[in-house]
Amino acid sequence: LVFERFLNVERREMPDVDIDFAEDRRDEMIRYAAAKYGHDRVAQIVTFGTLGARASLRDVGRALGMTYADVDRVVREVPTMPPSFGVMTIDRALQEGAGLRQIYEDDAKIGELIDTARALEGVARHASTHAAGVVIAPEPLVNFLPLQRPSSGDEQALPTTQYAMNDVADLGLLKMDFLGLTNLTILGLAVEVIGEAHDVQIDLSKLPDGDPRTYEMLSAGDTFGVFQLESGGMRRAVQDLRPTSIKDLAALVALYRPGPIQHIPTYIHAKHGQDPIKYPHPDLAEILDETYGVIVYQDQVLLIAQKFAGYTLGQADIMRKAMGKKKREMMSGEEQRFLEGAAARGYSPQLTQQIYDLIEPFAGYAFNKAHAVSYATIAYQTAYLKANYPEEYMTAVLIMASNHPAGAAQRVAEAYTECRRRGIDILPPDVNHSGVNFRLEAQDDGLPGQGRPSTRAIRCGLANIKNVGEGMVQGIIEARDEGGVFASVDDFFARVNYRHLNKRALESMIKAGAFDALCSRSALLAGLDRAIATAQHSQRQREAGQGSLFDLLGEEAKPSLGGLSASGGEDTETASALGGQRLAWEKELLVVYVSEHPFTRAAQALEPHLSCRLAEVSADMAGREVVLGGIVITTRSLMTRAGRPFLAATIEDETGASLEITVWPDTYEETREMWQVGTPVVAAVRVRNRDERLQLGVQKAVAYVEGEFDPSAWLRAGPSTLAVPNGGARNKEQGTRNKAAPDNGPGALRIVLEETDDHEEDEERLRSLGNALREDEGEGAVHLSIRQRDGEQVQLELPRARYCPELEQRLGEIVGPWGTVGA
């Protein structure tokens, strides 16, 4: 690390220090800092939540006594924006949205709501504790700023500053970010699991770099659970890079950020000798040699400014900060200074401008080298454990995922999918084998990391079942540790302290299959009340020292729970009848299907006809139509601005991956009855990439019924609600429609359409084109080119038609000013 990047006397500011700790130990480190430096000198930092556009409208609407429906109608006209598109304000929504502007001008009450909300937008609404910020002072903090008591009743909780982060920095105090990093916790858990399974102690700091199995895994794009490398774009970049060292990973981590990301291909091609290494100027070769002539790290920006324009490293760091803050006046001054400094050293103005333009995007976004190497080291550690101890590592991933309230269900489902892909068995919860959380369970002997089939499976924990608390599970485990495995349901209820027996939790355990080895689910559910009552009565008698006649006669004479002691499992007929119900219980209580996914059989039958699995849908498919399959797991009924109903449905395939698809009004009208939760569906969808988010619009769909569905005939029939038939089955390898060579024979028509902001209007134009062509069916090819808003062009084949001037004129009227029609 360039020292001036840490402490710069020319900037006269305290360093901005961020430290990553294992997520489950962050609070411990904050308490440590307070104990070391003094509880009166350490505090957490306040943050103020401000009113955004939508929140201010809702708050003002309540204050004005307006109905929820009226306020919601206004709020819906304020679009949500991804962070990269900036902040959506009421003024911006009025400027960009015709709908909001219309109701603002037409309705005085709405006008009052919007004007009042505009005045309150950005005002602080509430105070809370900053997620990471900690301030440490050389003397009692009350000498510098006001404090407030912690809101929690925890005696060890630190006070909170009444000044926000930037104000604390402006006072010259040292503020640090104590960050909790999930992957560090996963590493710690994985080391524990490995130690228990193999009686070895892994020292992460001494892992050998260059492990072949690790880099083979990364080069294959197998990056689930690997720190920093999980996203689709990063996965592709890792595959192209084929890293062989932490140095390679550090460069990739640094480059995969806004600005530098465009230089990843240059770096990769130079590394593999596909392109010669080029330096912006020979004088920079020494600085850029290790990164193949590409600027990768912030440190290189500082050194270039020093070498090229005569900056001190302290001045170069000030330039970096100005570029990072994007303040026009500061950047303008720094640019002029850089040009003058380079000119004084004899460099031409044209070359100097080129160098400045090259470093400007990096200064604000690139990592410093120390940061990149630190992250790359964690990435390597996670990859090493996954490659060499896959069952142990995935156990740790599942434990961490289940402990996270936010996004737990999705992450657990993704981890299950990864385990299935790798052949790692996931076993259902069992009162005789499960611990509190997920844990590794030996299946047979085997040596780790030898490419062998899984010799260990991951067992679901009892606390992984919804509604089951850790306290109850601990009580069950204590009874099991003390007396051995439970021989029967009678044995379970006799030995587990009745104070731990919560009826709702027991019902969930039964439905999730935790008692399957001891009793059938249906019988135990039916007799649960009696089982709990008997257990409570018997245990209370024992506690009171009141033995019963049965105690004198021995175990054989004790009352059983009336048929609940039979060995586990349903009879064949009952199990078949309850099959669907059991799967539904698993999904509800365990987040995922453990025994078998309800779409598995359908997926096997449909596999040749599906374009890809849901997890494989990506931005690369934008503009294409693909065939997907899955089971409906959630639906949301929505309404267009014109008042027409449509649906957003989430489907899930047999791998556990899920996607939301949109069923637009016309398609929804024809298929309304099929969109029930639990229904297996096949859908032809158009993939669009809007505002950095995939939108999957259903063109046609059908409910899959085993033995009654002919995929080939359905695909040949073409979409019934969109006039852009595929004309054949999808190409499985490409995941897209087969593209025939353009037919340039006599009678061929060419239509060009511009995509607009109004999806409904675009769809209506396509439908009208299709209807018009069907009225004049013939042999002439009709080519359609859609120019999307992102600049991409999509080529489609419409139904063949008999060309005549009247048809061309009619199509031109449909296209209107949004395109052209020509022979």
Mean pLDDT across the stretch 223-246? 92
Per DSSP, helices labelled H in 68-131 are 68-75, 90-96, 98-106, 108-120
Q: What's the pLDDT band for 451 if we cut at 50, 70, 90?
A: very low
d(CA 176, CA 174): 7
Q: Is the pLDDT of residue 430 over 70?
A: yes
Higher pLDDT, 261 or 387: 387
Architecture of domain 600-717: Beta Barrel (2.40)
Please write the tens of the pLDDT for every residue from 400-411.
Answer: 998 876 567 778
The helix/strand/coil state of 662 is strand
Residue 554, CA atoms < 13 Å, CB-side half-sphere: 1
Strand-pairing partners, residue 232, are none
Q: Is the pLDDT of residue 739 over 60?
A: no
Residue 481, CA atoms < 13 Å, CB-side half-sphere: 8
Residue type, 455: T
pLDDT at position 570 is: 52
Q: How is domain 52-122 classified at the CATH fold level?
A: Arc Repressor Mutant, subunit A (1.10.10)
Mean pLDDT of the chain: 83
Please write the tens of the pLDDT for every residue from 714-737.
Answer: 765 554 333 232 333 333 333 333
The helix/strand/coil state of 76 is coil
Name the one residue in this structure whose structure tokens are 């040749």.
608
d(CA 722, CA 739): 18
Mean pLDDT across the stretch 671-676? 92
d(CA 700, CA 719): 5
Q: Is the pLDDT of residue 708 over 90?
A: no
Higher pLDDT, 553 or 173: 173
Q: Is the pLDDT of residue 33 over 90?
A: yes
pLDDT at position 264 is: 92
Please write the tens of the pLDDT for every residue from 574-616.
Answer: 455 456 788 889 888 988 888 778 888 888 888 888 888 888 8
pLDDT at position 499 is: 85
Reduced 3-state DSSP string for 25-68: HHHHHHHHHHHHHCCCCEEEEEEEEECCHHHHHHHHHHHCCCCH
Q: What is the DSSP string of 556-591?
A: GGS---SSTTSPSS--HHHHHHHHHHHHHHHHHHHS
CB atoms within 10 A of CB 741: 5
Mean pLDDT across the stretch 522-546? 84
pLDDT at position 262 is: 84
Q: Is the pLDDT of residue 746 over 90?
A: no
pLDDT at position 765 is: 79
pLDDT at position 152 is: 67
Q: What's the pLDDT band for 229 if we cut at 50, 70, 90?
A: very high
pLDDT at position 411 is: 86
Burial 800-820 (b: 16+ CB within 10 A, else e): bbebeeebeebbeebbeeebe
Q: Is the pLDDT of residue 565 over 60?
A: no
Q: Is the pLDDT of residue 85 over 60?
A: no
pLDDT at position 578 is: 57
Both structure tokens of 787: 């120019």
Higher pLDDT, 756 or 512: 512
Residue from 616, 592, 596 nearest 415 by CA: 592
Both structure tokens of 422: 């790798």
Q: How is domain 3-49+126-183 classified at the CATH fold level?
A: glyoxalase-related enzyme like fold (3.30.1900)
Kindly report the pTM of this predicted structure.
0.74
Mean pLDDT across the stretch 301-315? 90
* DSSP conformational letter for 555: G
pLDDT at position 237 is: 92
Mean pLDDT across the stretch 662-678? 90
* DSSP conformational letter for 736: B
Q: Are the C-beta atoms of 279 and 294 separated by less than 8 Å?
A: no
Q: Is the pLDDT of residue 18 over 50?
A: yes
Q: Is the pLDDT of residue 675 over 90?
A: yes
d(CA 408, CA 725): 40
d(CA 321, CA 304): 15
Residue type, 757: D
Q: What's the pLDDT band for 448 if we cut at 50, 70, 90?
A: very low
Q: Is the pLDDT of residue 742 over 70?
A: no
- What are the structural domain ranges in the chain? 3-49+126-183, 52-122, 185-377, 390-595, 600-717, 749-822
d(CA 247, CA 289): 13
Mean pLDDT across the stretch 457-473? 93
pLDDT at position 716 is: 59
d(CA 33, CA 141): 14
